[in-house]
Amino acid sequence: MSTVTKVSRRSFLQTTGLAGTGLILGVRNGWASLIPVPGLEPESGVFEPNVWVSIGEDGVVSLTVHRQEMGQGARTTCCMLLAEELEVDLEDVAVVQALGDPRYGNQSTGGSTTVRLNWIPLRRAGAAAREMLVEAAARRWGVPAADCRAESGAVLHGSERLTYGELAAAAAELPVPEEPSLKDPADFKLIGTPRRLIDTEDMVRGDAVYGYDVDLPDLLVASVERSPVAKGSILGFDADAARAVRDVVDVIELEPNATGLTNAGVAVLATNTWAAMQGRAALNVQWEPGPLATETSDQRRAELEQIASGTGTVARAEGDFEAAAAAAESVFEAAYYAPYAVHAMMEPPAATAHVEGDRCDVWSATQAPQWTVGEVAGALGIPGSNVAVHVTLLGGAFGRKSKPDYAVEAALLSQKSGRPVKLLFTREDEIRHAFYHPESYQVLRAALGPDGSPTGWMHRSVFPAIGWTFPDGGATPTGQERGLGLSTMPYRFPNIRIEAGRVASSVRIGWMRSVCNMFHATAVQSFMDELAHELGRDPVEFHMAMLGAPRVLEVEGIDSQFPYDTGRLKAVGEAAAEMADWGRTLPARQGLGFAMHYSFYSYAAMVAHVSVGQEGELTVHQVDTAVDCGPVVNPDAIEAQMQGAVAMGLSLAKYGRITLREGAVEQGNYHDYPVLRMSEMPRVNVRIIQTGEVPTGIGEPGVPPTMPAVLNAIFAATGKRIRDLPLAGQDLG
């Protein structure tokens, strides 16, 4: 951290909510204001061995979190890793949320990477600080460092004790160890214990600060009417009508930006949100919809099917599937469709910007502060070093808040209006101006030998790629996208051919919690279930037989540092089946469905127990799930993430559908894009299996198996095989 304060650190934290280069979220942790305090000079005696740890002579230990909190527990988990090695109690630290800054390494909070990629770096940061504090104490006492130990923010030797505050100035003079020794996991005090998320009290008090809640003197609120079709343009609008609305201050036209993140729009700026919304409603913008006003969902399905009947880019080929199919006794085939979907997180995107000359402060509920710096700097034409991105709490995100479009709009509006501007998406904006989970159409074929033994696997997946969103991106799914559940198929078929088809989209494509894993798991796990029934085999027995002996699968999209071990997948599958008492007899119209999936280097399996009434009403009673995400940091957060993943997967299975008419999204709010309610929530039993040496993803891996587990359970209950999502509107009776 480059800025340290002359005032007492504690009073500084209490009065400004800012420490070093970061900002503190929430009153409990000292948030009182979001306004930077200028003119503060560095204070001597502050111990800052790296960008994550800071200890003042007053004894205040500040830990900086460089990943973003959206409910997955990242702030707490990062603090646990630092505090474990630093030997401080979590209750005794001030938590600073980092600005977007390359010194932290990759800050983008997505892809379930926070713990996997910071497991070693954050522990090293804490351990380096601890070693320096111990060394400082040892020198003070004239004893060997090896005879001293650190505990709860102090160094001890016999009956002697020096607090970290007392040692801070001396430790600051010592060299930072390059290879600090990490604790033996057997000595962990924090890691592996259930911890409440550090922001919980602020949240239940209503004091937690999200992107929507930023307040500044002289603030204007902006609401933007955007082109209903991506890349549409403005023909005209009634600025006078908007200006006539009480409390409206300005009307500003926004051009689409060069990087493809923002579309054309007209912003109404007012002294309060309601006035901005009312002014916007009066604009009556006339649009030229442009070249993308073509896609209508009803016609789209046929296009996807047609593409799937051709060949795609080969993602994985082993043996010769075509020869196996030609020699087969029979070829079993099925096709699966899932529509576009959208995040619908509770807090719509929100960002505040204040441009002053060639500098800009941004306060954003963003997963990607570094990308925000770059985009804002580019849009304003100022250096990235002049942009400070402060990160608030995120009221849900699920991938949507990885895109910095809303911060760019806020920054441009502040530059043009000369005032700080808070840009707020409404719910309708969130649904209609998203970066969508892609729709998909997938064809799967299995070649079956004369004795019923599977001899070949063919999977062709057609979906619009994320690259489609950007001017320099292609429409062909990348290896990384194909690695999300397509090329990672774990079963031992002697002949395999896996392809991805190319299709354009008239909407922007983005990441949504587990991304392509959702539809790939749905297809693969439904198809395996179908195949088991086709062959007259028990589904779980069939899955396990097809996995065969454990092996490390080396396919595209997998970082070989974190090997994909099919034995771990088998273990979670067997555990989930055992938890659910798989094979038990159930009453009529009830069923169990099994699914398992590897994603984000973690392994998850589920058994769903459903019943389907005579009229087709679906009840999901219980989901038993086993997950292996490596060594556990916070078991309470793992349970919460698996419960939440079931809720999201079930929401999507039941309701998730975005449709287009001439390129424009037809849905707009929770009445036409419904999500799961409490009364629909099943019991969720979570078993955590710990293997491996590095913690892996937990925010996303629970979502993919949910949908196929439920669909397979519906088949078990009714004999109806659902291959198109969502379930809403389909007759299960």
Partner 1 sequence: MITLLVNGERQTVDADPAMPLLWVLRDLLHLKGTKYACGAGLCGSCTVHVDGEPVRSCITTAESVDGRAVTTIEGLADGDDLHPVQLAWFETNTPQCGYCQPGQIMTAVALLERSPKPTDAEIDEAMSGNLCRCGTYLRLREAVHQAAASGGGES
Binding site for partner 1 (CB under 8 A): 69-73, 194, 196-197, 199-210, 212-213, 215, 221, 246-247, 271-275, 278, 343-348, 393-398, 424, 426-427, 636, 640, 643-648, 669-671, 675-679, 681, 683-684
Exposure b/e, 601-612, CB count within 10 A at least 16 = b = bbbbbbbbbbbb
Q: What is the dihedral of CA 688, 694, 695, 700, to 10 degrees?
A: -100
- Determine phi and psi for 666, rounding to 5 degrees: -90, -25
Residue with tokens 């009776």: 733
To partner 1, the closest distance from the beta carbon of 219 in angstroms equals 9
To partner 1, the closest distance from the beta carbon of 425 in angstroms equals 10
To partner 1, the closest distance from the beta carbon of 576 in angstroms equals 18
**With contact defined as beta carbons under 8 Å apart, do 691 and 633 qualify?**
no
User: Residue 251's beta-bridge partner residues?
Assistant: 268
User: Residue 220's beta-bridge partner residues?
Assistant: 421
The one-letter code for the residue type at 391 is: V
**Minimum CB distance to partner 1 smaller for 342 or for 558:** 342
- Element holding 655 (H helix, E strand): helix 635-655
To partner 1, the closest distance from the beta carbon of 221 in angstroms equals 7
CA distance 299 to 501: 18
**Minimum CB distance to partner 1 smaller for 167 or for 245:** 245
**Minimum CB distance to partner 1 smaller for 108 or for 272:** 272
**With contact defined as beta carbons under 8 Å apart, do 500 and 467 qualify?**
no
The one-letter code for the residue type at 657 is: R
**With contact defined as beta carbons under 8 Å apart, do 684 and 625 qualify?**
yes
**Minimum CB distance to partner 1 smaller for 210 or for 332:** 210
To partner 1, the closest distance from the beta carbon of 535 in angstroms equals 35
**With contact defined as beta carbons under 8 Å apart, do 265 and 228 qualify?**
no
**Minimum CB distance to partner 1 smaller for 3 or for 271:** 271
365 contact partners, CB below 8 Å, separation of at least 6: 210, 211, 212, 347, 349, 350, 351, 391, 392, 393, 394, 395, 397, 401
**Minimum CB distance to partner 1 smaller for 651 or for 718:** 651
To partner 1, the closest distance from the beta carbon of 214 in angstroms equals 9
**Minimum CB distance to partner 1 smaller for 401 or for 459:** 401
**Which ranges in 419-461 belong to alpha helices (H)?**
427-432
CA distance 378 to 258: 9
Interior CA angle at 697 toward 693 and 698, to 5°? Answer: 115
How big is the chain, counted in residues? 733
To partner 1, the closest distance from the beta carbon of 274 in angstroms equals 4
To partner 1, the closest distance from the beta carbon of 243 in angstroms equals 15
**Minimum CB distance to partner 1 smaller for 106 or for 669:** 669
**Minimum CB distance to partner 1 smaller for 217 or for 719:** 217
Torsion sign across C-alpha atoms 10, 12, 18, 21: negative
CA distance 327 to 9: 76
**Minimum CB distance to partner 1 smaller for 72 or for 118:** 72
To partner 1, the closest distance from the beta carbon of 590 in angstroms equals 20
**Minimum CB distance to partner 1 smaller for 54 or for 77:** 77
To partner 1, the closest distance from the beta carbon of 197 in angstroms equals 7
Closest to 640 in 3D by CA, of 699, 592, 600: 699
**With contact defined as beta carbons under 8 Å apart, do 546 and 492 qualify?**
yes
**Minimum CB distance to partner 1 smaller for 64 or for 426:** 426
The one-letter code for the residue type at 518 is: M
- Per residue, what are the HEC states of 165-223? HHHHHHHHCCCCCCCCCCCCHHHCCCCCCCCCCCCHHHHHHCCCCEHHHCCCCCCEEEE
Residue with tokens 């001890």: 156
CA distance 423 to 219: 10
Closest to 139 in 3D by CA, of 171, 115, 172: 171
**Minimum CB distance to partner 1 smaller for 115 or for 647:** 647
* Tokens standing for residue 268: 């109404």
To partner 1, the closest distance from the beta carbon of 136 in angstroms equals 36
To partner 1, the closest distance from the beta carbon of 656 in angstroms equals 12
To partner 1, the closest distance from the beta carbon of 660 in angstroms equals 22
To partner 1, the closest distance from the beta carbon of 669 in angstroms equals 6
**Minimum CB distance to partner 1 smaller for 95 or for 148:** 95
Closest to 461 in 3D by CA, of 559, 572, 315: 315
**Minimum CB distance to partner 1 smaller for 74 or for 379:** 74
CA distance 27 to 5: 20
Sheet strands (E) in 297-451:
313-318, 330-338, 350-356, 359-364, 387-391, 421-424, 440-448
To partner 1, the closest distance from the beta carbon of 28 in angstroms equals 10
Cα 254–chain centre separation: 29
Under DSSP, is residue 336 helix (H, G, I), strand (E, B) or coil? strand
To partner 1, the closest distance from the beta carbon of 389 in angstroms equals 19
**Minimum CB distance to partner 1 smaller for 201 or for 534:** 201
**With contact defined as beta carbons under 8 Å apart, do 308 and 337 qualify?**
no
